[in-house]
Amino acid sequence: MMGDAMAQISIARKLEDFRLPNIEALASYRESILAERDPNRTVIIVCHGTGCIANGSPKVAGALRKSIAAAGLTAKVIPEIKTTGCHGFCSRGPLVILQPSGLFYQKVKEGDAEEIVKTTLLEGKPIERLLYADPRTGELIPHDHEIPFYKYQHRIVLRNIGKIDPADIRDTIAAGGYQALALALTSMTPDEVIAAVEDAGLRGRGGAGFPTGRKWRLAVENARKNPGPVYVVGNGDEGDPGAFMDRTLMEGDPHAVLEGMLLGAYALGASQGYIYVRMEYPLAVRHLSIAIEQARALGLLGKTILGSGFNFDIQINRGAGAFVCGEETALIASLEGRVGEPVPRPPYPAERGLWGRPTIINNVETWGTVPQIIEKGAKWYANIGVPHSTGTKIFSLVGKVNNVGLVEVPMGITLGRIVEEIGGGVPGQDRFKAVQTGGPSGGCIPYELKDTPVDFDSLTAVGAMMGSGGMIVMDQQDCMVDVARYFLRFLEEESCGKCLPCRLGLKSMLEFLDKFAQGQGSPQDIDDLHSLARAIMKGSLCALGGTSPNPVLTTIKYFKDEYLAHVVDHKCPGGVCKDLITYSIDPEICNGCGVCARTCPQGCISGERKKLHTIDPTACIRCGMCMDECPVGAVLVA
């Protein structure tokens, strides 16, 4: 992947000779790295985020290396090939970007390497077929910073991702990594670090939006009252379906997380930290491990960091895949080796956390934001976003949207702008139907509320939530009853089962929804489901259960007509619920090509060549394959 394991170790070994004895050494080390680099040298960046790797980017990088070697370039002009973390524009991968020009190639295949070297590197001409074309106008956009997907973003946490090689600490240091740590160690007291985070107005990026500075302050006060060891914890147990913010940060810029935790540890006086990452993120675990190894080698972790009296080290703990372990008390239980089940708060971890000691536990995205606040100042950060939700937030924009990927935007931007300007709108339709924010226990916000500002309080006000930043776009072909069912099924599986409203409630809400999806039930049942949802919201022990009714409550609130269509008219307006739909072929449009008949797994479509085909509704299993395959759009669903 990012060079082989041996190379990583050799970087770490080489660094050992460079253990930085003091702050000045960090500065001169950075200068020496920058001096070695020729700013005019072409750097070919090949995205090695998980999405691009799955699409074959390691093969692209390999082919580029081969083609460059075969082209016989002289030593002075050999371009550097850099493998980086995720650029965010995952639907267009694998991505190749040429620096310093910023020429942006998308959907690059192994076979394109030779042409890139010949046409672009040697002749200096762009390859049109690899450029990004605006899906609406068809206009070709050659450079990354001009593409709407990137143009409207404000990248603070993600600023280095896609530019640095996460497996080489020298890249991070060249890009300004560990400068905030140096600043804090030389010119700030722990109290001033906390004050900066407080003044910046930073709120936790994990979902609940608790003010980070206040959390730190509470932990410090509790530690003073009750002297002894204290801890900092990074929560990287991201489990929402369709969310990959934390993953991208840990994979693409692991040092930002480490530096944030170093600053938190300095503020609290902790000497041990833990990062809890899910095992399903092997690349994140790998890059964090490499980053920790290299930071230790340079003396940025461990004893007497940069010659100061500050000692701190970080250990990685891998989660076994339970969604509920993202809840802080369950995470701490899991870290301690107990069953990953939440315990009631208070006491909050800031008072009694890991091993019963004051603990600062923050989402990794929150940690990744802290160094920027320390480096550029609380005022700078507080000026971004809106008054009660400052700064930027990363969202994973997925679902029925043209530009699927990861976006970082200032808080307070409207939902509509994210979906339409950055996301490029819904494919084939002029508007979205709803956006589910906040993961499975978030809420569905309808198109009518597209001007809702995306910040903690506005989202809560419409019944949704910020959550960790998942954003799933839905179009007219999505059924809201089915959407609520989908998220509830996920939560039913992930409920730990400790408290009854969550363990039995999710199952019981699903019983209602299953009935509706079959066209059974009555309008009274919809009201009863609402009442049950409220009982679960009020009665559950932790936030998983407490927020689990959100998909039900918001879809009933904004799409009640759709629920009524199911139970009263026995129709599914989205054409999704299998018991309520029938497929037919429009005789006006069908050209008798026979594709549907060949595709149908039931063999229940018949018709002569070049004549109208018909579907036998008694044998049809409503899989919808005929509709997907019909070249003229003659298959209808109602």
Partner 1 sequence: MSAKQAKKGKEAKKAKKEKDDGLLRFTINGQAVQAREGWTVLETARQHGIHIPTLCFHPAVQPIGSCRLCVVEIQKNGRSQVVASCITPVQENVQVLTHSEEVENVRRWVLEMLLANCPASRQIRELAKAHGVTSTRFKVEHPEDACPRCGLCVRACDEVVGVRGISLGNRGIFKEVTAPYHQKSKDCIKCGTCLYVCPTGAMEHLFPQVSAL
Strands of the sheet with 359-363, listed across from one edge: 313-319, 272-278, 231-236, 359-363
CB 293 within 8 A of CB 336: no
Tokens of 245: 């913010």
Smaller CB separation from partner 1, 418 or 526: 526
Nearer to partner 1 by Cβ, of 416 and 549: the residue is 549
Nearest to 304 by CA among 34, 23, 71, 113: 23
Indicate the residue among 211 and 282 with the shorter CB distance to partner 1: 211
Name the nearest CA neighbour of 64 among 83, 87, 49, 90. Answer: 83
Beta strands (DSSP E) in 38-79 are 43-47
Q: How far is the CB of 317 from partner 1 (least distance, A)?
A: 19
Q: How far is the CB of 531 from partner 1 (least distance, A)?
A: 6
Q: What is the DSSP string of 444-503?
A: EEEGGGTT-B-SHHHHHHTT---TTSEEEEE-TT--HHHHHHHHHHHHHHH----SHHHH
Q: How far is the CB of 539 from partner 1 (least distance, A)?
A: 4
Question: Please, which residue, 421 or 525, has the CB nearer to partner 1?
Answer: 525
Which two tokens mark 159? 């600023």
Identity of the residue, 349 or 574, whose beta carbon is nearer to partner 1 in the bound complex: 349
Q: How far is the CB of 528 from partner 1 (least distance, A)?
A: 8
User: Would you give the distance in Å from CA 28 to the centre of its chain?
Assistant: 35
3-state secondary structure 523-577: HHHHHHHHHHHHHHHHHCCCHHHHHCCHHHHHHHHHCHHHHHHHHCCCCCCCCCC
Q: Who's near 123: CB < 8 A, 6+ residues apart?
A: none
Q: Closest approach of Cβ 525 to partner 1, in Å? A: 9
Name the minimum Å distance from CB 135 to partner 1. 42
Q: How far is the CB of 211 from partner 1 (least distance, A)?
A: 18
* Residue ranges in contact with partner 1 by CB under 8 A: 322, 339, 343-344, 346, 492-501, 503-508, 511, 528, 531-532, 534-536, 538-541
Least spacing, CB of residue 522 vs partner 1, in Å: 11
Q: Given the complex with partner 1, which of 85 and 342 has the nearer CB atom?
A: 342
Which DSSP category does 326 fall into? Answer: G
Residue 388 or 571 with smaller CB distance to partner 1: 388
Closest separation in Å from C-beta 362 to partner 1: 25
Question: How far is it, in rounded angstroms, from Cα 533 to Cα 442?
Answer: 14
Q: Provide the minimum distance between the beta carbon of 345 and partner 1 in the complex, in angstroms, as a whole number.
A: 10
Q: Closer CB to partner 1, residue 313 or residue 514?
A: 514
In whole angstroms, how close is the CB of 550 to partner 1 at the nearest point?
17
Q: What is the CA radius of gyration of the chain?
A: 27
**Exposure of 66 by Cβ count < 10 A (0-12 exposed, 13-18 middle, 19+ buried)?**
middle
The tokens describing 17, both together, are 């000779």
Yes or no: say if 443 and 422 are a contact pair by the CB < 8 Å rule.
no
| Closer Cβ to partner 1, 334 or 452, answer by number | 334
Nearer to partner 1, 352 or 622 (CB): 352
Residues whose CB falls within 8 Å of the CB of residue 507, separated by 6 or more in sequence, listed in order: 492
For 296-327, give one letter per residue: b (16+ CB within 10 A) or e: bbbbbbbeebbeeebebebebbbbeebbbbbb
198 versus 492: smaller Cβ distance to partner 1: 492
User: Closest distance between partner 1 and the C-beta of residue 343, in Å?
Assistant: 8
Minimal distance, residue 226 CB to partner 1, in Å: 17
Q: Which residue has the tokens 């009524």?
A: 564
If the CB atoms of residues 19 and 503 are measured against partner 1, the closer one turns out to be 503
**Cβ proximity to partner 1, 257 vs 488, nearer residue:** 488
Tokens in use for 151? 């143009």
CB contact burial 179-212 (16+ within 10 A = b; e otherwise): bbbbbbbeebebeebbbbbbbbbbbbbbbbbbbb
Minimal distance, residue 571 CB to partner 1, in Å: 24
Helix pair 212-225, 190-200: axis angle to 10 deg: 150
Q: At closest approach, how far in Å is the CB of 493 from partner 1? A: 6
Residues 592, 581: Cα–Cα separation, whole Å? 23
- CA–CA separation, 337 and 559 (whole Å): 44
Would you put residue 335 in left (φ > 0), alpha (ψ -120 to 50) or beta?
Answer: alpha
Instruction: Indicate the residue among 540 and 547 with the shorter CB distance to partner 1.
Output: 540
- Of residues 534 and 611, the one with the C-beta less far from partner 1: 534
Helix axes 550-558, 523-539, angle to 10 degrees: 140
Residues 68/117, Cβ–Cβ less than 8 Å: yes
